[in-house]
Structure 1
């Protein structure tokens, strides 16, 4: 017989059990909510994102009398993606009128200061700045100096899979916020993180369509999923967790806090292996300009991509993405974010994407390799921290042009002489600061491989000669008119091996003047001179110029048997081009924190390698190299600009070198082959040719330096080197220090001729 069950007792029993389960679940849920509440507060209140280390070109300074062709300022504005307009009204715009350039500078953080947006007008005359004015309360006021925002050339995060620019919501135009809310969460200000009505509306729409056509997640839920949960799995547990997190977010933080986090977190595509997060970085990635400068159709495209950056990729799925963008523009009109006139204006706009092709890599790879090495050598603890700003000496106009022209010039040489596998490097240094303005390490400008500017250590040939002649001119015993032997010479080492240098043309003579040995790059006079001076003296000069490597005490160093990289050669030549003043040559100028507070600055120490008078005389000789010597093609190509320079060629034509400088910049060029086989080019027909091609991309300023008071200009006998009282016989006019003028040979007078 079956025992009967009392229904009331059964209900009471199970009600009690369900109550206990309910209490247990409530306690667990309460603890979970408390845990999530603490976790969300910590995550949202602390540092939410890693801020990238940003590397900038040099901020261009603008001041009266500065040598700066108007075309170069315009070119830099274009590189910075300033937009040319008829009337300048907003940051990021510029206009050109006759000899004036007006632009509205963008806000940026400089070393030690934050520069606000500023309207500036620069007037030019004869490739110089005539004046610089800034707009203040509707009036143009004369300014002593203005600074243009620098080009961002690289950004580095410790985690390479995410990148973003952090933006403050207060700087975002209101219409952009309204556009986002209209499309993604129009009830944002009226729900508490989760919208039941939106969920029901989405479910109904999906049921009617028979597939998922609408989502019910609020903007707050999207933020919870992307920023806090980092979980893309579509499970009920994840949706529950997302809802709890969204409710906590809405309770703990203001709507503006949530919106700002969303603006910085939203995923909007890929730059190579790096994810593009946030509207600020997406604006620069897709349109190459700051978010605040976007037009309505451009921001509508970014909002359109929120739904699916891969599905609505503007470069891969053009038609699909444009339809989505146009839908956003329609919603902007229907919700009164914009008017019908704006809609008619922007709906016809094509999607013009200026998306970077660097795939997350630096704009100028060879230059950035040097920057990274210098930063590593500085051993700045903060380098691996967030938000460092690194300012370099890079001239973006010069770098861009040199990268473009270098490979073309190499290809021309190969075609002209029937050669192949030629490569090389270029290093350009600015005199005033000794900062590296441009650096090219491969004929392929986008190469991320072997950097010849940094790592191609090759014999420098005749580029060593300025150091030898400087050693002589520093001595009281030598001047440009000193007579040097031009005879054959044979030397033996302690193992009986012979070294017999020759002039390039295999000729000899009794003697030449020191000036002729320098200008015509004669080997024999240079070797005789170097041996007279002593190898120790020459090595000492090389060390004082900045050569750090060991230099063997062999006579062959007098003809450049010293392997050096193009960068180190440029460092060695910098004091010569700067008239005896040695500065620290580097790419990195300063490093600051994210607010511009200085962490490191390049040492400003100046060392005098040679006095001004001696340097002046040496450089007068180097100027003659470009007029009548081995680099005389420069004078032919650029007759109105006075350059100084020196060619260099090594044994068996393995290396072709040239260094040249004007009033502002020193440029060193090496041409050769990676396997060290002969390149079959001299310095004159190889590296010099490249130099001429590169100079076509810029306007150089002629060398103009005052003659020192203790320097006289004298005629000298070209055979004996004697100082002459006048211009008579075979003579050459040379500068000489007054203290070195001993006896003056009197020229024949009119009466002497009568006799």
Structure 2
């Protein structure tokens, strides 16, 4: 056969010689050239080989297979290879980003700090998040099965990402043309709940940001699985998860919804809590119980499919009635005790530690006394609001106002109880209701203290040398008689003047004119120094009107200051937190008791004795009629125009201050005295405290004290010469604080020798007989005369001074 010019001829074709003769020379050359040339493979560049060698390798490896098999293998291998080329760099990229997350954060969850009273009873919880972290062993097994069936049935089979579940969810979404089926495992949910995974640099594209977050979530998930056991992951998950209404963690969810610990959850309750996880606010049983029950039933069905329970158990659980916390108990009330603890906690710890929570805070509060103080204050003030003609807003009328209500303007009050020998705050009440007003009047209000200030004026005078049996005039003040008074002349509350009276009458009967003269004896500077020493923070106004109580202070300051009287002048600064422990049980903070001598002990005890008389024949005598018959001391206080009513009093164990008034100072009503408004609350609180073991055994705290005659000039044991000089006084102090018996004053030996010939230089004086203890004489030494001024035995006379303006408003009692 021969092919010529596109046509094939047989070898014996008769026309072949003719056609061969007609061929052109170039055609012959071309044919000859084609016969000699061999086919050459197509050359590829080096770059192509480097970049695409895996694909060429697949081509070569599949070449021996038959054509259909070859193409099937290549259709599978090439996309897989392409996916691997993209996936490996992505995996490295997200693995590197996942490495930046601290896995310790997975188990670090903010939770509430528990606040305990002094007896270990829980007061409440503060700081952190509404969560209570518990171990897996304290969770109902029914709940563990329920949450696995609902959220991650294959949890113990996969390694963080459930690819089988992912594929199943993807197929379901494609089939249903929706995105309702998720594929997140418990570990993946823990990852996104533990770390911020959204990249801020991708905010320009929300879809791309979501995709990036999902890839990073998977990378972090594998790291979590590598660092924690399955049990630990499950424990961290159920403690971290959100359950609606600011509730976090299974324990808090169980206590909030069902008022029981997570260990006591029934199958029905467990399924309900597991069921609402996917929409905790939408399916909350507090909002729509029927929706929550539907989610419960769905979860029970899934538990049957997962073979965690039998169909019979599921049906029984579905028939169980769901009982959630009743609506009237869903409001979590604030507490005045917690309100007072928060600022103290902020002074002790950094905000970060407080916010992270998990602390156990032991306080000085006695919850029984605290509750009684709150109840007694509100009940007592309610009786005044019900009086005919009461013209201010009442709490009942305020509560009837539509929401949102304005700040309450009804009658308010405050109670503070302090333990004398520790400064521990036993109870603190800042108003009628901590939910209705956050303003804590116990520590934030600064109100004029009125006549409750007078004991400090008398204590300053006793420190300056005034005798308790000195005589003081109750007559009207003369012009220029009182330093820094100008023409000011106060009146007494009863409008009368009694002439010369023993100094204690001035305090027992709260006589203004006597008290001003006592203050004048001590001097403004000395009174102001006493005010600072006993704990008042506001500076005292340096005018004579201050002697009657124009100082402004909080109820806590008043109560703390009054503790110096039963303590013999010793002051323990107030404290409300005694110990703080972290979640590991380690002590973060502890408070040591500190104290100092604020005023001289004899001045404090003399004042305490007179305040005891106030409670028997003075302005506090109503306490006995109200049923408090134990030894006590105290003082009422009523400011000008009856704007503030006070009572501050003490026993040997406790001191309590009560204030009553309106937040915007105005007259409560006519004759709203402290003995009427505040004293009855004090009595109820102290009666309760006494029944609880805070014994009222006397006017002074239970500490061993001894008396001795001391020389005011030298501070040593007084001799007969000191008695002659009038510088001896009786001091009562702890035994180890008194000067030694042989440490005698030698300042007045010359006076002693003028009276007694050949008298020894120093003779100790017995405090009971005022006769030298080493003397054989039966005659008593001359007794010191009462003094009213350091320079004269007479009542201080008028001293002309420059007139200064003074406030017109004068506190009265």
TM-score (norm 2): 0.65
Partner of 2:87: 29
CA contact under 8 A between 2:632 and 2:650: conserved in structure 1? yes
Pick which of 509-518 and 171-180 moved more. 171-180
Displacement, 1:228?
4.2
Displacement, 1:317?
0.8
Closer, same or farther: CA 322–397 of 1 in aligned 2, 3 Å: farther
CA contact under 8 A between 2:660 and 2:678: conserved in structure 1? yes
CA contact under 8 A between 2:111 and 2:127: conserved in structure 1? yes
Partner of 2:101: helix, strand, or coil?
Answer: helix
- Partners of 1:573 and 1:60 lie apart in 2 by 23
Partner of 1:668: helix, strand, or coil?
Answer: strand
Listed one character per residue, the Cα deviations across residues 432-477 of structure 1 (whole Å, up to 9, x for unaligned) are 4312233333333214543332332222111112212333445664
- Partners of 2:504 and 2:96 lie apart in 1 by 80
Partner of 2:242: 267
Listed one character per residue, the Cα deviations across residues 510-569 of structure 1 (whole Å, up to 9, x for unaligned) are 233333332332222222222223333322322221223322332212111111122222
- Partners of 1:288 and 1:57 lie apart in 2 by 19
Matches within 5 A, 1:3-82: 25-40=83-98, 42-43=100-101, 45-48=103-106, 51-52=109-110, 55-61=113-119
Partner of 2:188: 221
Closer, same or farther: CA 300–483 of 1 in aligned 2, 3 Å: farther
- Partners of 1:209 and 1:694 lie apart in 2 by 69
Closer, same or farther: CA 703–690 of 1 in aligned 2, 3 Å: closer
1:660 equivalent to 2:718? Answer no
Closer, same or farther: CA 23–220 of 1 in aligned 2, 3 Å: same
- Partners of 2:177 and 2:690 lie apart in 1 by 68
Partner of 1:180: 147
CA contact under 8 A between 1:431 and 1:666: conserved in structure 2? yes
Partner of 2:664: helix, strand, or coil?
Answer: coil
- Partners of 1:194 and 1:358 lie apart in 2 by 39
- Partners of 1:691 and 1:412 lie apart in 2 by 16
Closer, same or farther: CA 614–57 of 1 in aligned 2, 3 Å: farther
Listed one character per residue, the Cα deviations across residues 46-87 of structure 1 (whole Å, up to 9, x for unaligned) are 3237654855444434xxxxxxxxxxxxxxxxxxxxxxxxxx
Listed one character per residue, the Cα deviations across residues 635-694 of structure 1 (whole Å, up to 9, x for unaligned) are 112244444321101122222111133454322222223333233322112222443465
Partner of 1:510: 499
CA contact under 8 A between 1:287 and 1:355: conserved in structure 2? no
Displacement, 1:202?
5.4
TM-score (norm 1): 0.69
Matches within 5 A, 1:381-392: 383=353, 386-387=356-357, 389=359, 390-392=361-363
Partner of 1:374: 344
Matches within 5 A, 1:230-241: none
CA contact under 8 A between 1:394 and 1:436: conserved in structure 2? yes
Closer, same or farther: CA 345–618 of 1 in aligned 2, 3 Å: farther
CA contact under 8 A between 1:330 and 1:343: conserved in structure 2? no
Partner of 2:382: 411
Task: Give the total of aligned pairs.
Answer: 617
Q: Which runs of 5+ in 1 are unaligned?
A: 1-8, 62-147, 157-161, 713-734, 746-755
Pick which of 417-426 and 335-344 moved more. 335-344
- Partners of 2:333 and 2:453 lie apart in 1 by 34
- Partners of 2:244 and 2:614 lie apart in 1 by 55
Partner of 1:483: 471
- Partners of 2:551 and 2:311 lie apart in 1 by 72
Partner of 2:249: 278
- Partners of 1:455 and 1:53 lie apart in 2 by 28
- Partners of 2:271 and 2:140 lie apart in 1 by 13
Partner of 2:160: 193
Displacement, 1:171?
4.9
Displacement, 1:332?
6.6
1:561 aligned to 544, 550, 555, which one?
550
Q: Which runs of 5+ in 2 are unaligned?
A: 1-43, 45-51, 60-73, 199-205, 393-409, 710-729, 733-765, 771-779, 783-813
Partner of 1:710: 707
CA contact under 8 A between 1:490 and 1:499: conserved in structure 2? no
Pick which of 650-659 and 696-705 moved more. 696-705
Displacement, 1:500?
1.1
Closer, same or farther: CA 358–486 of 1 in aligned 2, 3 Å: farther
CA contact under 8 A between 2:241 and 2:248: conserved in structure 1? yes
Closer, same or farther: CA 198–26 of 1 in aligned 2, 3 Å: closer
Displacement, 1:584?
1.7
How much is the aligned-residue C-alpha RMSD, in angstroms? Answer: 4.5
Partner of 1:177: helix, strand, or coil?
Answer: helix
Partner of 1:43: helix, strand, or coil?
Answer: coil
Partner of 2:519: helix, strand, or coil?
Answer: helix
